Structures are given as C-alpha cells and as structure tokens.
Chain A
Amino acid sequence: MKHTISVLVENHPGVLNKVAGLFARRGFNIDSLAVGTTEDPQLSRMTIVVHGDDQVLEQIQKQLYKLINVIKVFDLPPDKSVDRELVLVKVAVNAKNRAEITELVDIFRGKIADVGETAMTIELAGDSSKVEGAIKLLEKFGIKEMVRTGKIALLRGSDTK
C-alpha cells in the first residue's frame, strides 16, 4: 500500500541526511522523496512516498517525530489531496514519428522542451496516473533518458497543516 506523507522540517543543513538515514536504518522503503522550500523560509517541506501497511506507516510517522528538526508529519490520503509530478523524458524521434509524438504530448498537455536531430525532450506534469500513462505510451518510441521530480502534494480545499 502506497502512502504519501508530508513532512515539515527545519530548513537546516544536515536535516535531509537525518531523514534519509532514518528511513535507511529502519528499513522503510522510499518510492520518492521531493524536498523544497515553503511559504516560511525557516521551513522545508518533504513529500515522501512510501509503501507499507498501516503499522509501518504509523512507525514511520512516530520515528520521524523523534527527529528534533521535524516539525510536523501527516499522511495525505489520495482523495483528500492534490498531487503533481514533473517529468522530463528524452524520446528518440525520426521524421516519421515526430508528428505522432507531438500529438501525444498535446493530448497529455505536455510540452516539447527541447528538440534535437534524433531526440526530443518532453516535459510532462500531472498526477501519478497521468504521468505513468504518458510514459507508457512514449515507451514504444524509445525512451533514451528520463528524470522525475518525485511527487509533491497538498491537502485539497482551504485546509492547511
């Protein structure tokens, strides 16, 4: 079972190391981890996608809270949150399939970020299912390189945490 957890941490050097080290030594599996600044310059927000049952999720949250630099930890259920991921995909192209790929990118509301002689770099953003779907369709053209930011997410509506 996948969970998305949002972790507010103090914006200090070494904090990422402490969080990553905790996951490694306790044997928690990270699918993705995205970190960046927030509306408050003192704080950073980490969005971590983990998999495990409810007991594992509970332990992860409790263990995170034991880190002094961690201010707040909460689970973001899929139905109560918006999530996005940004992907750059470098796809092999030739004269024949260029139009087909461009059309596909349009359907997914992506962008052609860069064009080379034998490859195109496509920028895609969206929730997990959209991003996964687009990548799957692009695979048949030959993906030469890919980079993903990992998921970021916030609660829906006016609620904040």
Chain B
Amino acid sequence: MEYTGAKALVESLKKEGVKVIFGYPGGTTIPLYDVLYDDKDIKHILTRHEQGAAHAADGYARASGKVGVCCATSGPGATNLITGIATAHMDSIPLVAITGQVGTALLGRDSFQEADVTGITAPITKHNYLIKTAEEIPQVVKEAFYIASTGRPGPVVIDICKDAQMKKAEYKHPEKFEHPGYKPTYSGHPKQINAAAKLISNAKKPVLYVGGGVIISGANKEVFELAEKCNIPVTTTLMGKGAFPETNNLSLGMLGMHGTAYANFTVTDCDLLIAVGARFDDRVTGHIERFAPDAKIIHIDIDPAEIGKNVRVDIPIVGDVKNVLKSLIEKVKPKAKNEAWLAQVAEWKKKYPLSYKKTKIIKPQYVVEMLDELTKGKAIIATEVGQNQMWAAQFFKYTKPRTFISSGGLGTMGYGLPAAIGAQIAKPEAVVIDIAGDGSIQMNIQELTTAVNNKLPIIIAVLNNSFLGMVRQWQEVLLNKRYSATNLCNNPDFVKVAEAFGAIGLRAKKPEDVKKVIQQALKSKDRPVLIDFVCEKEENVFPFVPAGQAINEMLID
C-alpha cells in the first residue's frame, strides 16, 4: 500500500496504540493535521501553547503508564516543547514528541521557522531522529516508541521534514525492532542478589529508599512485600510518592530537603540503605558525604550509569526493580523482630511529626489536608513547583502509584495545569486536582481554555500567598527578608480570570470556607474549577535542610 509520509505516520502511531495526541499545528505539520482531520481513532487535543502540549502528554503518561504523544511545528513550535521534553527527561517519562521540520531543500539555510531540533534536543532526550524521506517513517516510529517506553524510559523526538510528510512511499509495518546499541538489562545478577539478601537478612537498622523507578516498573507490590517481610521502614523520594502507602506504619513519608524529620533521622542513622529506583539526587542527599554515613548501600536501578554516579555503593544491582525485588523477596529471611530499630523510628515519628500552627488565616497545609480528607485520599494530585509542591507532597497521604504527578528533577513551574489535563484525559473517572501557587499557575494559565473546551472537571487549588513563596522562604531564612522580585501583590483576580476562560471561579478567604468551596468544586462534572485560597503570606515549608547541609541538620519549625 502506498501512503504519504503523513498517513504512514498516523498509521504507525495507531499500531503503537496511540489514542490521543496533544498538539498545536503550524506550517510544517499541515500534512499531518490534514490526515488527522478525517481520522476516527486518534483524538487530537489542541492546547493553547506547545509547552502545554508537552506537559499534557507527560501527565497523560504518568497517570496511565502509556507513552504520551505531543506534536508541534518547526522552529518556535518545537522550541516551545523544550521545557516539556526536558521535564520528561529528568523524570524518566515515556514521551514521543513529533515536530515538523522545513523541507529538505531548505534545511540548513536559516529558513523561515527553521531550528536545529535534533541538535537542541540531544541533551534532553533519550534519543532523537531527523526524518528526510517518507520511507523511513514506519521504522522510526516503531523504534521511537520502543526506546521511549523500555529500559529507563524517556522522551524521544521525531523531527520530520515537510516534504517527507507529503511524498508517497510503500507502507510496511515493521514487526519488531532490535538495535545493537540498545539492550537494557532487566534481570539482576544472581550473585549480587544473593549478596544483597544476605545484607538485608543481617541488617539491624535497614531502611528502604524508594524512588520513581518503582512507579515506572510497577513494583509497588514488591516493595510492600519486602518491607512487610523484613519489617523495613520505607521512605520515598518525591518521584516515589505512591510507591508505598503512606498510611502504613512502616511509611516514613518523603526524605530530603523538605522530607519528614523522622525519615531524615532514620536514613542518617541506618546501617543498611536499600535504594530502589532512586538516584541520590542532591535534594535528597543534602551534603553527600554525610548522607547515611554509617550505612552499607544496596543500589537497584535499571540504568547502570546511575550506579556509582553520586555515591559509592556496596552492592550494585542493575535490572528492572520489579524483577530484582521479586528474586530478593524469595531470598531474604523474614525478620519478625526488628523491634529496637522500629521503636527508635516510632519515637522520632512521635517527637517530630509534620505540623503547622492554625490561625485565623488559611494555612496552605490545611487546604491540602482538606483535599485529602474530602476526596478520601483518592484524587490524582498534580502540582506546580515551589512551596505548593512540597505541601502537596507532605500533607496529602498517597497510597497508590500514579496518583502524584509532579515535576521532580527539572522543577518546572507551569507544569501542573497541563499535566492535570493529560491525567484527566487518561483517567476520565478520576478526581484530578492541580495544587498550585499563585506564581506557577500564571505560567500556563492559557491551558484553562483546553480544560474548558474538553469539559474536564479539574480542580485547580491555588494556594495564594501573593509571593513566589519558595524563593521568598530562602530570602527570609538566608538573606534577612530581602524579598527581591518575589512579591506578587499585583496578581490578577483569579476568580475573574477563571470565569473569563469559561471555568468556575471560587474563593476561600477564611479557614471555615475551605471545606465548603472544596465540596462545591467537587460537584462540577464537566467544567474546571479554580479555587483561590487566600493564604497566609509568609508561611514556610518545614522541615527545611538548607542547601549543602546534612539532612539531619534541618530547621524543623
């Protein structure tokens, strides 16, 4: 069968199971959009900015576990995707980004809307392709989806010249893909697993340090089994939220810069740290030499380059964490009695709980607690970046994977709303809430239109403190309240903004309004609701480990 390149592209996407594309058309993607115009199987969601499309595809991927797909035109369209691609890359999210490129005859001539997309995206993708002929398209799409979704997942860019989309070629679907330079390791080395099992069975003060790799691998059940079998307390990274139920006794919540004090004390004091799908990021470790100083370290990760990158490791195990944990669970001795250690952990938990002081002004932590209570902990929470993100991580108890959707590695403000859109499209029945700050929400607020047009009942909880709160907090603590460029007292009226976009706008000014407005918002079934929570202006996120300090040296309140 002879197809145009654009038609071959759409057919190939269908073969990969693509149901939805987030995108924005332009000159060099006109042939693609012409094919999508009559297509019945792939739904195109028109965002209002290409960055929104990339984040929405990313949110879709995180909520569903499938590959997210976004597309944009050449030049500015493609460069507007960059922040979204980098966000997905840092958090290992499977994403395929399709960009139009100028015709092959115009390449390299500084043509209108030309940008070197494969050059620009090389450092922020797992792989990328420049396609110059229609013939290459089916094979490249196959490879792109395979690479994006296997091993350590990540974004793949396919940059397609306009004439390659228009020319006809014989369409043949490649059944399989093998590449000599791409062979991820899935099962751990048995010798290493035995050694790890021995360490775990003999440890007196073990702790599991669980990251986003567990969510990606779908290994939450195995983490639970290992923790229960050996009585090991579990702390998660921001990316690992939902990998272990935070309502469980063994849960320590999050560790690191804004982690719980008890998680940080436990890690500092442990004699065995079992890192599972986590990468010893600086926000987790603080001062690296003083991180878990007395511990032996087992590091399980699918990416060999993560092992030994930031810390020395006693037992490295390269493999898919689900596979490795399964073998490990069989080999470890059950440890019914870890009592002294668990008692110590319980004491820290009791002595240093997460807390805040209630006043007559709305506390952002209270809003997050109420969102948890009123959704019975069952919502999908997307976040922006800053204080809102940390409170969303601290005061909502996550119990299931893929329910906390947040830009961890890159820390992208403006991520939450479009990611919530993607998540809601992936999970139409779920309650999806974007916990936002008044700064972040303005970075991609145009996506309210996308949410309204697609009748998505997303709740946007703006924790409005009229500040860029996280930077303000650093300025307060470290720079004697020199609030340089962080005061946002000239914010727009968010309720009116929401209404102008066709969404519902609500406002809570006092603590007693909080429950009421959330209940009201939860009633909306086909329209987004923005709630402006007028919060305490100078509330801080605690605990707080100032950058470069050891994690047990935190400011607790």
Q: Is B106 an interface residue (CB 8 A)?
A: no
B305 lies within 8 A of A68 (CB): no
B308 lies within 8 A of A68 (CB): no
A68 lies within 8 A of B123 (CB): no
Question: Which listed residue, B122, B130, B180, B308, touches A21 by the CB 8 Å rule?
Answer: B122
Q: In the complex the two chains form, what is the Cα distance from A54 to B119 in whole Å?
A: 30
Q: Is A51 an interface residue (CB 8 A)?
A: no
Question: Which listed residue, A17, A55, A65, touches B308 by the CB 8 Å rule?
Answer: A55
Q: Is A128 an interface residue (CB 8 A)?
A: no
Q: Is A153 an interface residue (CB 8 A)?
A: no
B308 lies within 8 A of A58 (CB): yes
B305 lies within 8 A of A59 (CB): yes
Residue numbers in A under 8 Å from B122 (CB-CB): 14, 17-18, 21
Interface membership of chain B positions 107-132, coded 1 if the CB is closer than 8 angstroms to chain A and 0 otherwise: 00000000000110011001100100
B127 lies within 8 A of A68 (CB): yes
Q: In the complex the two chains form, what is the Cα distance from A62 to B310 in whole Å?
A: 14
A71 lies within 8 A of B309 (CB): no
In B147-162, the 8 Å CB interface with A consists of: 147
Question: Which listed residue, A14, A17, A25, A59, touches B309 by the CB 8 Å rule?
Answer: A59
Q: Is B27 an interface residue (CB 8 A)?
A: no
Instruction: Give the number of residues in A that approach B within 8 Å (Cβ atoms).
Output: 20
A-B contact count (CB 8 A): 37
Interface membership of chain A positions 4-22, coded 1 if the CB is closer than 8 angstroms to chain B and 0 otherwise: 0000011000100110011
In B41-62, the 8 Å CB interface with A consists of: none
Separation in Å of the B161 CB from the closest CB of chain A? 14
Q: Is A97 an interface residue (CB 8 A)?
A: no
Separation in Å of the B139 CB from the closest CB of chain A? 14
Residue numbers in B under 8 Å from A65 (CB-CB): 304-305
B119 lies within 8 A of A17 (CB): yes
Q: In the complex the two chains form, what is the Cα distance from A130 to B181 in whole Å?
A: 36
Residue numbers in B under 8 Å from A118 (CB-CB): none
Interface membership of chain A positions 33-73, coded 1 if the CB is closer than 8 angstroms to chain B and 0 otherwise: 00000000000000000000001001100110111111100
Q: In the complex the two chains form, what is the Cα distance from A28 to B324 in whole Å?
A: 32
With A18-B122, A21-B123, A25-B123: A71-B305 Cβ-Cβ less than 8 Å: no
Interface membership of chain B positions 372-403, coded 1 if the CB is closer than 8 angstroms to chain A and 0 otherwise: 00000000000000000000000000000000
Q: In the complex the two chains form, what is the Cα distance from A71 to B280 in whole Å?
A: 28
Q: In the complex the two chains form, what is the Cα distance from A9 to B147 in whole Å?
A: 17
Q: Is B37 an interface residue (CB 8 A)?
A: no
With A59-B308, A63-B305: A68-B182 Cβ-Cβ less than 8 Å: yes
Q: In the complex the two chains form, what is the Cα distance from A69 to B122 in whole Å?
A: 12
A68 lies within 8 A of B147 (CB): yes
Q: Is B303 an interface residue (CB 8 A)?
A: yes
A71 lies within 8 A of B180 (CB): yes
Separation in Å of the A39 CB from the closest CB of chain B? 15
Q: Is B337 an interface residue (CB 8 A)?
A: no
Interface membership of chain A positions 66-103, coded 1 if the CB is closer than 8 angstroms to chain B and 0 otherwise: 11111100000000000000000000000000000000
Residue numbers in B under 8 Å from A18 (CB-CB): 122
Q: In the complex the two chains form, what is the Cα distance from A90 to B554 in whole Å?
A: 63
Q: In the complex the two chains form, what is the Cα distance from A65 to B123 in whole Å?
A: 14
Closest partner residue, chain A, to B180 (CB atom)? A71
Separation in Å of the A40 CB from the closest CB of chain B? 11
Closest partner residue, chain A, to B143 (CB atom)? A68
Question: Which listed residue, A25, A63, A68, touches B126 by the CB 8 Å rule?
Answer: A68
With A18-B122, A21-B123: A66-B303 Cβ-Cβ less than 8 Å: yes
B305 lies within 8 A of A62 (CB): yes
Closest partner residue, chain B, to A60 (CB atom)? B305
Separation in Å of the A28 CB from the closest CB of chain B? 13
Interface membership of chain A positions 128-159, coded 1 if the CB is closer than 8 angstroms to chain B and 0 otherwise: 00000000000000000000000000000000
Closest partner residue, chain A, to B129 (CB atom)? A14
A68 lies within 8 A of B118 (CB): no
Q: In the complex the two chains form, what is the Cα distance from A14 to B305 in whole Å?
A: 22
Q: In the complex the two chains form, what is the Cα distance from A118 to B226 in whole Å?
A: 79
A68 lies within 8 A of B181 (CB): yes
B147 lies within 8 A of A14 (CB): no
Q: In the complex the two chains form, what is the Cα distance from A14 to B180 in whole Å?
A: 18
Question: Which listed residue, B118, B123, B147, B304, touches A62 by the CB 8 Å rule?
Answer: B304
Residue numbers in B under 8 Å from A63 (CB-CB): 305
Q: Is B179 an interface residue (CB 8 A)?
A: yes
Q: In the complex the two chains form, what is the Cα distance from A73 to B451 in whole Å?
A: 48
Residue numbers in A under 8 Å from B303 (CB-CB): 66
Closest partner residue, chain A, to B307 (CB atom)? A62
With A63-B305, A69-B181: A14-B130 Cβ-Cβ less than 8 Å: yes
Residue numbers in A under 8 Å from B126 (CB-CB): 66, 68
Separation in Å of the A14 CB from the closest CB of chain B? 6
A68 lies within 8 A of B179 (CB): yes
In B287-346, the 8 Å CB interface with A consists of: 303-305, 308-309
Residue numbers in A under 8 Å from B119 (CB-CB): 14, 17
Q: In the complex the two chains form, what is the Cα distance from A55 to B312 in whole Å?
A: 10
Interface pairs (13), CB distance under 8 Å? A14-B118, A17-B122, A18-B122, A22-B123, A59-B308, A65-B304, A65-B305, A67-B181, A68-B126, A68-B147, A69-B181, A70-B181, A71-B180
Instruction: Other than A9-B181, A67-B181, give 8 A-B pairs with Cβ distance below 8 A.
Output: A14-B122, A21-B122, A21-B123, A25-B123, A55-B308, A62-B304, A65-B305, A66-B126
Q: List chain A positions with a Cβ less than 8 A from chain B.
A: 9-10, 14, 17-18, 21-22, 25, 55, 58-59, 62-63, 65-71
8 shortest interchain CB distances as A-B pairs = A62-B305, A68-B127, A71-B181, A71-B180, A62-B304, A68-B182, A68-B181, A18-B122
